[in-house]
């Protein structure tokens, strides 16, 4: 995890697609924790993005006619049980 002061800005891990694992760094575009308005429990939500090359995961068919780079956007919500 990477912080800018006390703010979480990135998370590093491994992404596996079609049996191919590569290290990636997800950039957090937002990260907030607060009481969930509907279930009244503590919750955190985040949006993360990363750009990967399809060819790195054996999915590069038709590149360069179809872009080899794909931007993944991952929304997450976690509620404390």
76's enclosing H/E stretch is: strand 69-79
**Domains of the chain by residue range:** 2-79
Domain 2-79 top-level CATH class: mainly beta
| pTM as predicted | 0.78
Distance CA 81, CA 72 (A): 28
At 45, list the tokens.
């939500």
**Which residue intervals of the chain are DSSP H helices?**
none
Tens of pLDDT along 30-41?
A: 999 999 989 899
Dihedrals phi, psi of 58, to nearest 5 degrees:
60, 35
At 37, list the tokens.
């308005």
Q: Quote the pLDDT of residue 63.
A: 76
């Amino acid at each position: 995890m990477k912080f800018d002061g006390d703010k979480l800005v990135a998370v590093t891990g491994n992404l596996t697609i079609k049996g191919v694992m590569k290290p990636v760094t997800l950039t957090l575009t937002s990260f907030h924790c607060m009481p969930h308005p509907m279930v009244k429990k503590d919750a955190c939500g985040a949006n993360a993005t990363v750009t990967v090359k399809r060819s790195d995961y054996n999915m590069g068919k038709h590149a360069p006619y179809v872009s080899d780079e794909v931007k993944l956007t991952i929304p997450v919500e976690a509620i404390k049980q």
